[in-house]
Amino acid sequence: MTNYHTHTYYCDGSSKPAEYAREAVAAGFTELGFSGHAPVPFSNGFAIPKEKLSAYCEEVLEVRRSFGQSLKIWLGLEVDYIPGITSSFDSFRQQGCLDYLIGSVHLVKPAHDDRLWFIDGPEKQTYDDGLAQLFDGDIRKAVTAYYQQLGEMVTTQRPDIVGHADKIKMHNAGRYFREDEPWYVALTQQMLEQVKEAGSILEVNSRGLYKGRSNDFFPGMTLLKRAREMDIAITLSSDAHRPEELTLGLSQARQLIESLGFREKNVHPFIKGYR
């Protein structure tokens, strides 16, 4: 088992990198990836502060040395993409020490507006308020802005892994739109085509399930079925913010994707996945 999406105490996770590595060995992992939230140029409570980025890298590399052959450790970042605001993915690649980047959208920027819609986190109210204030309550306009931003990230930044691609559905929870509505299907289909074209790996993220915020993975079964038909590579992750979350939901994810016909093989020089 592997997991390439983990957050340590350098960002919004609970613990030191070594504690995740110990837990990973105990769980029988062969590989572990660290993906702290990359620094962003505004005050926030989730990302690695810019001045701590090199310490994060050094500490993960130190853990890699100390675990040696017993656990393959990869050093990465989960990078936010907000057009005109966040740094390019290449500026992080130029750090030199990073093995991979997960690209994610947590904050949606409407066109012609500098305010941001926070679509993640524990509170439905934040989602509802942003929808009302930034998109005049027009869910189709809001969801379209999310997928436009995600698609732009995939095509212009080419992340190794696309993080929780349909997270926009989490706080919808069946309230504003159904996932089988033609306009929504068209948006997700376009997103999958962009992922395929970029050659990125699509993450299957279990965090919503074990946090009780979603009754489905990100992305859910319908999208994964289409990803299989399109021969898009996937990787399973729990988006762990604590060592004890490293394995949560991964065996259910494995069952689901195997039932859809995915098979394990190396799909990336560093990242083991399914295709």
- Interface residues toward Zn ion, by CB under 5 A: 78, 104, 163, 239
Q: Report whether the peptide linkage leading into residue 83 is cis, meaning its omega lies within 30 degrees of zero.
A: no
Nearer to Zn ion, 165 or 257 (CB): 165
Residue of closest CB approach to Zn ion: 104
CB of 78 to Zn ion, least distance (A): 5
In angstroms, rounded to a whole number, what is the distance separating the alpha carbons of residues 39 and 41?
Answer: 7
CB of 258 to Zn ion, least distance (A): 24
Structure tokens at 33: 């990836």
CB of 136 to Zn ion, least distance (A): 27
Would you say 218 and 166 are in contact if contact means Cβ atoms under 8 Å apart? yes
Would you say 102 and 4 are in contact if contact means Cβ atoms under 8 Å apart? yes
CB of 237 to Zn ion, least distance (A): 8
The number of beta carbons lying within 10 Å of the beta carbon of residue 58 is 12
Nearer to Zn ion, 5 or 182 (CB): 5
Torsion of CA 14, 40, 269, 234, to 10 degrees: 70
| The residue type at 135 | F
In angstroms, rounded to a whole number, what is the distance separating the alpha carbons of residues 204 and 210?
Answer: 13
CB of 234 to Zn ion, least distance (A): 16
Nearer to Zn ion, 59 or 245 (CB): 245
Nearer to Zn ion, 104 or 200 (CB): 104
Nearer to Zn ion, 70 or 106 (CB): 106
